[in-house]
Structure 1
Amino acid sequence: MDILTPWLRSYLPALSVTDEQLAEDLTLRGIAVEGTFAIANGTRYEMDITTNRVDAMNHYGVAREAAAIYNVPLAPLPATAPLAADKPGDSFPVTIEARDLCGRFTARIVRGVNVKPASGLIAEYFAALGQKPISGPVDVTNFGWLSMGQPTHVFDLDTLEGGIIVRRAKPGEKLRLLDGTEKTLVAEDLVVADEKKALGLAGVMGGWDSRVTETTKNILVEAAWFDPAAIRASSRRHGLHTDASHRFERGADFAAAPLANNLVTRLVVEQAGGEVIGEMTDIIIPALAAKTADRPTIALRVSEVQRHLGTTADGLGISESIVAQYLTALGCTLTQTAAGEYAVKLPSWRLDLEREIDLIEEIARVYGYNKFANTLPTFIGTVIELPHAEQEHTIRTTLRGLGFSEAISSTFCSAEEATLFTTASAVAIGNPLSAEAGMLRPALTPGMATMIANNLHRDVSTVRLFEMGTVFNGSTAEVIEHTGLSLGLTGSAIANSLYRAEDALFYELKGALEALLAKFTGAVTFDTNELPAWIALGRGARVLFNGQPIAVFGELSATEQQRRKLRQTVALAEVNAAVLLAAPLRQPVSREISRFQAVERDFSFLFPDTVRWADIDSSLRALKIPELQSIGPVEIFRDPKGKAVAAGTYSLLVRVVFQSTERTLADEDLTGNSSRIIAALTALGGVQRA
């Protein structure tokens, strides 16, 4: 937003620093001036105000910051509006039905106005800001929020039918807005209405039918406080982002409504004439006031301020008088409760202040971070490595060595993906950014699938990614966090004699998991039980570590690939990394290399499809042949036509390596060991091929 220094200085008559110095000092205090531009009587600042500082998104708020920095008085805003002493009247009737969404509503009548273009300071300031003039009363409302940050609205009083009612919209209710568009409202929308119709979308935009025009003679001035979440939801639901919604959805000042109403009413009379009739209506909902303007006090200890902030550059430190000076200038009210201790009443416009440490941070900010001595905190002891640091390092280095790149995905996912990718309970977010990010992720695979898809949609056809991060289960009452691991790959898998080309991606992922789990002490087995719905039928498996499920992996189902518009096979794995982090790593053991010749022997067998490699491997190792150094599959063959190999069976070539550390193996050693191997394979249901 833009700020004019002549406007700022009208609230700071004693301010003597130059505009350049003011810009620098504000920036150092977190009220950033991104650019300065010369104007006729001063400077226009281009500001970058963070979203938590809505109180500084106006001239008076920035002036308050400058007053605190330089310890100069801040001129008050006009507290009252001129009343027509000879024309008293009743205050305008207002009813708040949506008492959970509207905490305060003020209204005041001005009769006999003559609508014309704004003049004087309003016209001058608007020209410097590049603000488009509309009409006197409307320009006054814009001047009001630019001045003090509180949005207001003016209605043509003669278009209203009965009193004001602040209520939820009726489902399907139509409302034509000031921009000329017609919106169909839902029950979650908050509207300002009269007794017959909706007049405007509360906190977002006024309505067309009650707008002020050149023919308007009587005006109703409104200023209110609306629930930030409700305004944010309506603004996004209807695709409207206005100056009013920008402020209301970040938390407006609950106490500012009557002050803003008075300011706008006074300026309406100055710009358009007329008379103020009756007292101002001011309806307050105590429950919402207690959450904003009437929040409990915060206990502040000067000793804690000094402990946290340490030594200042001048060596004097932060004194008790400085603490009181800065907090009072920022709008806090301090009541001393003991020596060096205060109960701090928070200003209604600073909803970002909640704890003692927030007040300490404010003191440091206004004092100036650049005015503290450069000191390092004291440290006693040594660096202690986390108990699972070595396991975490092993996981990352192993996967990188296998060609995977580490990635980071969003912590959120949709309810649909949360249900699809895991059976664990997912935690819903109270105020989600969108329906696609309404849940804390219960697994990493939704984010991994999205990252793979993003790469493919950008013509990156070969992808190998892994992510290790926190996943969330439980409920909003109790969120359980643990570490998860996900792998994802697609494209350029290499086939060999053990499997077909279309199976290469699956087996590459299986091999990566085996290589990873081999780093940890424990037995690894596979089965196909209880696979989730996202895995294609017959294209996935479950991994068991010491007999307990630790991972599932497989190819993404055709339904999911179509939904994500993927044109090539994608394989994913979800691993419970918390189990690995708690498991001991295998310790490398060295042994002397044998000086004697190794001998290879191949065994070709037909096996039923029910016999798996794990059965074969464990059966041969159970023989406990001292000279048996390695066992491995060399070639596997199936005949879809059932001619060379019968249907329901497969041909497997098993290669073993014999080697002794003590002597050269004789023919009788090899023959005896080979016979034992043949017997073991036959016992599994295998038939030796000639």
Structure 2
Amino acid sequence: MNIITPWLRSYVPNIPVDDHQLAEDLTLRGIAVEGIHSLAPNSGHLFEMDITTNRVDAMNHYGIAREAATIYNLPLAPFNIKLPIGTLVDEPFSVTIAPEAKGLCGRFTVQVIRNVTIAPSAGEVKTYFEALNQKLISNAVDASNFVLLGMGHPTHAFDLDKIEGGILVRLAHKGEKLKLLDGTERTLEADDLVVADHKKALALAGVMGGWDSMITPETKNILIEAAWFDQASVRRSSRRHGLHTDASHRFERGADFNAAPIANALVAQLILQHGGAEGQLNGKLEGELIDLIDPEVAARTATRPPIDLSVKQVQRHLGTTLTPEGITSEIVAQYLTSLGCELLLHGLRDDLAVYSTRLPSWRLDLEREIDLIEEVARVYGYNRFANTLPAPGVVIAQPTQAKEAAVRTRLLALGFSEAVSSTFAGQSDADLFYQPANLGAPYLDSEMWASSERRPHSSSPQATVPMENPLSEEASLLRPSLIPGMVTMLAHNLNRDVKEVRLFEQGQIFTGTIPADSTFISEVHETAQLSLGLTTASPQPTAPLQIAADAPFFELKGVIESLLSLFTLPGGPHAAIFTPEVPAWLQPGRSATALLNNRPIAYFGELIHTQKETRKLRQPLYLAQIDLAALYNLPLKKVTAHDLSRYQAVERDFSFVFADTVQWQAVSAAIHALAIPELQSLKPIEVWRDAKKYPGVYSLLLRTVFQSNDRTLREDELTDFWTRIIAALTALGGTIRDGANETSK
């Protein structure tokens, strides 16, 4: 947004620095000035500002002036509102907030002005607008825009004679039509909040006014509206109808509940002052300001409970300053009072003040003591703190630090690069990638995943966590899975012609608990997870039994097995088994689930083809989601080293025919269950299948290696080993393949 210094300095006349130093001082306090442009000679400068989304109070000249007054310890000029007494009326203008709009419209103010002359704006409105390159329309419309740029609260002026019956703030009727000021006609939904009269909708609340009640050169009587609308309601309507206006930008981020009557009065004052005959007012006020207030909304915005602030805590958190006196109780009180807080001495702690701090209505971003401490640090200036190292013992390693380091080191060694994605996700991604029971919960089969009735929804005991004030629909939730972020990062690389990508991310996912007697989340849970992402344009087999197209899947499987090998698994190193049932975001037949104690520890495989087409991906993506929380509950395996054997190793091949239902895990587990200490290696060499000639079976050639650390193995020992292995495989239903050529070396 743009700010001009003449307007800014009108609120703080005695700023002791020039505009360039002012811009630097504001930037150091988090109110960033990204560009400075000279206006007409000796007319000041225009600041290009970058205001963060949580500081809606600073998205106007008065808000920036408040920051300047705080920095330089100067008084901030109050709004000079001088309105004449309105003419008496027998019955006030009718204004009603419908019951279904309760909570969505927390405050609604109305002022009627009659006998107005619509004319071009003059005076400071014209001067400031020309400096800002702001379009001038008419005195009534410009007054509303002037107040928005000046003190930050949206208002709207209606042609009173086009309002039938009175004002009714209500929800729209589904399918109701409304022509807006931009000339477009919108079809409204049932949850769109509108300002209406007794017959029709007049405006999309908090977003844009309507065409049929707009101010025209023929307008004689005006109704000025200034209100407080719910953030989520405005955002929903704004996104649905593709409208982003100056008003919606502010309402979506949390407007000042107490600003509505002030803004209304300022607009009325400007209209009365501009357009009338010389020395006369432009119209007459009718009646007093009508001000409807919802006490529940007021309680959670303008009259929030005070926060206790200890100066001792301020000093502890902020540390040593470059000045000897440091941050004193007086400095804390000065800064916070100037920012709009009301401080009451609540007591002493170590001879330092403890204040009960009442928060200003325009700072909804202040919620805790640490927020106030941050404000003190910001205004004091981060550049005025000494560079110091933490005291011994202050930094404490987390219990999982060694395990995180082990996982990170192993993945880096396997050729993966660490990445960090957004902590937020959209609803569509959450619907696809969020497991209702989460990893580590009882296993869900593919039929359960395929049923839409089993998918997560808002009434689930473990629900997704919506943001109170999201930046966009694509970032409306705290992420319930790392997979959407991983998909985005892989797609980002592919779209820039990076075709070989291997990424991993260790991070937290978020879910919420909804009590049985409530529809709101009572507690938010964080769970550690790991996501892996792999894509390649030219997959290369890494084992003799692989085909090129399957290589990425088996690479992911190998990575998961390698990570599991870092931990002492319950049931031994081969406790993990793999099953083909997978969640809905993985392609059936090209994905699997790793189970540990019959509970999912990881899902992995190829992203489902429909998502590849929807996201216009140039090549397949292979993804894995691993439950780090469950993995970190296991102890790290202690690394041990053994001397290499000096005695000869003996290889023996076994060729068996098995039913298709017998998986490799069963074969491996059966052989390892024999507990032959001399068995050093077991691996499949060849799988052969002829579905037409030998349906339902396959042939497996596996190789074993035996070796002792203290002797040369005798023939009778080897014969015993081989006999036991043949018996174990036969017990699985296997038969020795006819004509098998078994050799030993």
CA contact (8 A) 2:86 2:288 kept: no
C-alpha spacing 1:442/1:334, structure 2 compared with 1 (3 Å): closer
Q: Which moved more, 1:136-145 or 1:324-333?
A: 324-333
Is 1:115 paired with 2:118? yes
**Alignment match of 1:405 (pick from 401, 409, 417):** 417
- Number of the residue aligned with 2:522: 477
Cα displacement string for residues 315-359 of structure 1 (whole angstroms, at most 9, x for unaligned residues): 123343333333332223333344634333332222222233333
Listed as ranges, the matches of 1:261-280 within 5 Å are 261-273=264-276, 274-280=283-289
- Number of the residue aligned with 2:227: 224
Which stretches in structure 2 are left out of the alignment for 5+ residues? 277-282, 438-461, 514-520, 740-745
- Number of the residue aligned with 2:464: 427
Listed as ranges, the matches of 1:579-594 within 5 Å are 579-594=630-645
Equivalent-residue separation in structure 1 for 2:721 and 2:14 (angstroms)? 102
C-alpha spacing 1:221/1:652, structure 2 compared with 1 (3 Å): closer
Equivalent-residue separation in structure 2 for 1:420 and 1:582 (angstroms)? 24
Cα displacement string for residues 564-606 of structure 1 (whole angstroms, at most 9, x for unaligned residues): 5567655443332223222223333333323333333333333
Is 1:390 paired with 2:402? yes
- Number of the residue aligned with 2:392: 380
C-alpha spacing 1:471/1:687, structure 2 compared with 1 (3 Å): same
- Number of the residue aligned with 2:96: 95
Q: Which secondary structure state, in structure 2, belongs to the residue aligned with residue 394 of structure 1?
A: helix
Is 1:510 paired with 2:557? yes
C-alpha spacing 1:301/1:687, structure 2 compared with 1 (3 Å): closer
Q: Which moved more, 1:403-412 or 1:245-254?
A: 403-412
* Residue type at the aligned position of 1:634: I
- Number of the residue aligned with 1:654: 702
* Residue type at the aligned position of 1:349: W
Percent identical across equivalent pairs? Answer: 58
* Residue type at the aligned position of 2:380: Y
C-alpha spacing 1:185/1:498, structure 2 compared with 1 (3 Å): same
Listed as ranges, the matches of 1:629-648 within 5 Å are 629-642=680-693, 646-648=694-696
C-alpha spacing 1:60/1:447, structure 2 compared with 1 (3 Å): closer
Is 1:361 paired with 2:410? no
C-alpha spacing 1:82/1:608, structure 2 compared with 1 (3 Å): same
Equivalent-residue separation in structure 1 for 2:540 and 2:474 (angstroms)? 36
- Number of the residue aligned with 2:736: 687
Which stretches in structure 1 are left out of the alignment for 5+ residues? none
* Residue type at the aligned position of 1:298: I
CA contact (8 A) 2:580 2:589 kept: no
Cα displacement string for residues 170-229 of structure 1 (whole angstroms, at most 9, x for unaligned residues): 221111111111111122222111222111112211111111111112222222222222
Q: Which moved more, 1:176-185 or 1:274-283?
A: 274-283
Is 1:468 paired with 2:506? yes
Equivalent-residue separation in structure 2 for 1:570 and 1:378 (angstroms)? 43
Q: Which secondary structure state, in structure 1, belongs to the residue aligned with residue 309 of structure 2?
A: strand
- Number of the residue aligned with 1:325: 334
Q: Which moved more, 1:552-561 or 1:68-77?
A: 552-561
Q: Which secondary structure state, in structure 2, belongs to the residue aligned with residue 167 of structure 1?
A: strand
C-alpha spacing 1:123/1:673, structure 2 compared with 1 (3 Å): closer
CA contact (8 A) 2:429 2:484 kept: no
TM-score normalised per structure 1? 0.89
| CA-CA distance at 1:628 after TM superposition | 4.0
| CA-CA distance at 1:91 after TM superposition | 4.1
| CA-CA distance at 1:535 after TM superposition | 4.6
| CA-CA distance at 1:484 after TM superposition | 2.2
Aligned length: 685
Q: Which moved more, 1:201-210 or 1:504-513?
A: 504-513
Is 1:158 paired with 2:161? yes
Equivalent-residue separation in structure 1 for 2:678 and 2:356 (angstroms)? 81
Listed as ranges, the matches of 1:284-683 within 5 Å are 284-338=293-347, 340-372=353-385, 374-376=386-388, 379-381=391-393, 384-411=396-423, 412=425, 414=427, 418=431, 422-424=435-437, 425-429=462-466, 431=468, 440-449=478-487, 451-452=489-490, 455=493, 460-473=498-511, 475=513, 476-491=521-536, 492-495=538-541, 496-522=543-569, 523=572, 524=574, 525-528=576-579, 531-545=582-596, 549-558=600-609, 561=612, 564=615, 570-622=621-673, 627-642=678-693, 646-664=694-712, 674=722, 677-678=725-726, 680-683=728-731
Cα displacement string for residues 339-387 of structure 1 (whole angstroms, at most 9, x for unaligned residues): 6343333322222222333333333333333334x15266233864433
Equivalent-residue separation in structure 1 for 2:355 and 2:420 (angstroms)? 45
Equivalent-residue separation in structure 2 for 1:35 and 1:420 (angstroms)? 42
Equivalent-residue separation in structure 1 for 2:333 and 2:593 (angstroms)? 64
Structure showing greater Rg: 1
| CA-CA distance at 1:420 after TM superposition | 6.2
CA contact (8 A) 2:699 2:737 kept: no
CA contact (8 A) 2:109 2:264 kept: yes
C-alpha spacing 1:673/1:480, structure 2 compared with 1 (3 Å): same
CA RMSD of aligned residues (A): 3.1
| CA-CA distance at 1:294 after TM superposition | 2.2
Q: Which secondary structure state, in structure 2, belongs to the residue aligned with residue 30 of structure 1?
A: coil
CA contact (8 A) 2:671 2:728 kept: yes
CA contact (8 A) 2:60 2:150 kept: yes
* Residue type at the aligned position of 2:383: N
| CA-CA distance at 1:230 after TM superposition | 1.7
| CA-CA distance at 1:490 after TM superposition | 4.3
Q: Which secondary structure state, in structure 1, belongs to the residue aligned with residue 36 of structure 2?
A: strand
Equivalent-residue separation in structure 2 for 1:305 and 1:504 (angstroms)? 57
- Number of the residue aligned with 1:72: 74
TM-score normalised per structure 2? 0.83
Cα displacement string for residues 25-69 of structure 1 (whole angstroms, at most 9, x for unaligned residues): 222222222222222322222222222222222222222222222
Q: Which secondary structure state, in structure 1, belongs to the residue aligned with residue 170 of structure 2?
A: strand
* Residue type at the aligned position of 1:100: G
C-alpha spacing 1:466/1:272, structure 2 compared with 1 (3 Å): same
